[in-house]
Amino acid sequence: MHYPNEFAYFKRTNFNHPRGLQVFKDTPIHMPSTRQFEIRLTQRLLKFCQNTIHGVNHIWEPRTRPAVRVFWCLIVTAALVGCIILYNTVTQRHREGILVTVVETSHLPIQTIHFPAVAVCPVYRINWMRYKAAEERFLPRYAAKEANSAFYHLLMLLERMTFTRLNLIAEFLEVKRVPRSVRNIELSEVAKFMSLRCDAIFSWCIFDKTQMDCCKIFVPEITSRGVCLVFNSVISKESSIKKLLIKEVDEWSDTLFHIIQKNTHNSFMVTPTITETARSTRHLDPAKRKCVFSDEISTKYDHIEGLEFKKINCLIRCEQRYLIEACNCTMSMFFPEISSQPECKVSDLRCIYENWDIFTYLKEPLQDEYMNDTRRGMTCDCVDGCESLLYLVELNVIGLPNANDSLPEISAEIYFAKNTLTKYAARLQYTYLDLISNFGGILTLFLGASILSFVEIGYAIVRELFIFSLYKLTTRKKKRRIHVVKSNRRENKKKINTL
């Protein structure tokens, strides 16, 4: 057989790869080493610092003398230290959360607030016209004289007793024998049953120049002074003395009140002021802010369920908590009802009297640390609401003409002093905007930098990271791939020798 092509010539070699022949798929490309890339990256960063950061160019200039370099190193270091110190000072002021109160406006329209809630509380709160009905309801059918006498003394006590006048219980405890049928009577149930009704107090009512049914606009409400009728004005013909409280709509009864006498016309001029804390302070702790927002949930301060947070509501709940801890009962004639707690009964009056000095003395949270006061009392830690409305009341009293002592009456008129009110705003002395502004001023003063300087620094960092990542990816793709073909050494030698 004739083979016209020339046979391939295989060069003999002494190279024997331990694992066989090597097959190269791609031609190796010489790429710069990692060390060279790091040097190049360092040079770019130095060039950027020389062109962007003031004073650094004097340090890295090749022809600069050593003394000049040391001088500029000290200058740049001092500028950086001063910048850091002032920045820490400004940041510390911001962290302190100092609040300042300023007058936001002195001409806020009066229509922006609610008309004040007015509570009318008779000084003597027992309706003796219902005495027989009360005996039939709370005493056995054939009660002994001792039970009737004890029940009568109980009503005498409830007629004048308030949570701040618990010392009156001593008169009832002088009763020698109180039958079991009287000891098991709940105090709040008797007080509510014997309270004066609306038709026994009011004659006629006018609101916003419109005559209205008093019993429709005045509703019974539990206060710290017992059952009161709440809304805005009062005229009386039967009780000779009344107490009138002016407060917020969603606020429990306040301790401030005005006593109005019979056969008088009383003009109440109300001047409201509102204080509102800025929402930017919400990140602060309520103890540091010294107020709680209406929709804020705080486990530290007491509050009444269903009502917005108010300081007076917090105090009422705190007083109720002390009563429960001391006597294991509550009095819904003065406090909100709690279904899980039993009502105080006549048998609990001794416990209440033994602790009346606690219930009638309110202490501040840190009072014992600064005052040598050995008296017992209630320590209630309560702060104001962040949206508080205060009513300042001025009372002007004049006598009624043609007054009839046998048929006394009281008239009262409640109105706003003017059509505008003053609004105070509590806000942070240093906000985030102030922090940024001061920080920008510090950078400009010490380093001559601006927001564009940070943009350039960020751009340089991102750019160099992108170049470095691209370099790594390129070197990985261009890297030589080596495939090892396994073969037997002896068989390869024989084939080469035969050829």
DSSP 212-274: E-HHHH-EEEEETTEEEEEES--EESS-S-EEEEEE-TTSPPPS--EEE-TTEEEEEEEEEEE
Of 70-79, 431-440, 490-499, which one has max mean pLDDT? 70-79
pLDDT tens figures, 166-209: 888 888 888 878 888 889 999 999 998 998 888 888 888 888 78
Residues 366, 242: Cα–Cα separation, whole Å:
37
Amino acid at 2: H
Q: Which domain holds residue 82?
A: 21-95+434-479
Which of 77-91, 155-169, 276-290, 447-461 has the least mean pLDDT? 447-461
Q: Is residue 443 domain-resident?
A: yes
What CA–CA distances, in Å, run from 435 to 6, 288, 425, 429, 432?
88, 20, 20, 10, 5
Distance CA 156, CA 159 (A): 5
Compute CA 377 distance to the chain's CA centroid, rounded to the nearest angstrom: 27
| Distance between CA atoms of residues 194 and 191, nearest Å | 5
Give the model's confidence band at 234: pLDDT under 50 very low, under 70 low, under 90 confident, else very high.
Answer: very low
Residue at 222: amino acid letter: I
* 20 band by pLDDT with thresholds 50, 70 and 90: low
Q: pLDDT: is 480 or 361 the higher one?
A: 361
Q: What is the mean pLDDT of residues 347-364?
A: 89
Query: pLDDT tier at 424 (50, 70, 90 boundaries)?
Result: very high
Which tokens is 259 given?
Answer: 């006593």
pLDDT bucket at 41, cuts 50 / 70 / 90: low
What's the one-letter identity of residue 108?
A: L
Kindly state whether residue 70 falls inside one of the protein's structural domains.
Answer: yes
Per-residue pLDDT band for 235 (boundaries 50, 70, 90) equals: very low
| More confident site: 395 or 255 | 395
Contact status, residue 272 vs residue 392, Cβ threshold 8 Å: yes
- Exposure b/e, 423-437, CB count within 10 A at least 16 = b: bbebbbebeeeebee
Number of domain units in the chain: 1
Q: Is the pLDDT of residue 348 over 60?
A: yes
Residue 109 bridge partners (DSSP): 420
Q: Which of 158, 166, 232 has the alpha carbon at shortest distance from 196? A: 158
Does residue 464 sit within a domain?
yes
Q: Please check whether residue 26 lies inside any domain of the structure.
A: yes
In angstroms, the CA 333 to CA 349 distance is 14
Distance CA 226, CA 356 (A): 17
Examine residue 10 and state whether it is found in any structural domain, yes or no: no
pLDDT of residue 251: 55
End-to-end CA distance of the chain: 18
Asked if the model's pLDDT at residue 485 lies above 80, the reply is no
Token pair 């606690």 is found at 358
Q: Average pLDDT in the 467-482 region?
A: 67
* 60 domain residue, yes or no: yes
Percent residues over pLDDT 90 in the chain: 12
pLDDT band for 325, please (50, 70, 90 cuts): very high
Q: Phi and psi (nearest 5°) for 275?
A: -125, 125
DSSP for 431-453, written as a single string: -HHHHHHHHHHHHHHHT---HHH
- Range 144-148, long-range pairs (CB < 8 A, 24+ positions): 144/179, 146/177, 146/178, 146/179, 147/179, 147/181, 147/182
Separation of CA 390 from chain center: 20
Asked if residue 442 belongs to a domain, the reply is yes
What tokens does 375 get?
A: 């008296």
Using alpha carbons, select from 393, 384, 441, 437 the residue that is nearest to residue 415: 393
Most confident of 116-130, 410-424, 428-442: 410-424
Exposure b/e, 171-189, CB count within 10 A at least 16 = b: ebeeeeebbebbeebbbbe
Across the chain, what does the average pLDDT equal? Answer: 78
Q: Are 181 and 139 in contact (CB under 8 A)?
A: yes
Residue 242 pLDDT > 70:
no
Rounded Cα–Cα distance for residues 75 and 94 (Å):
29
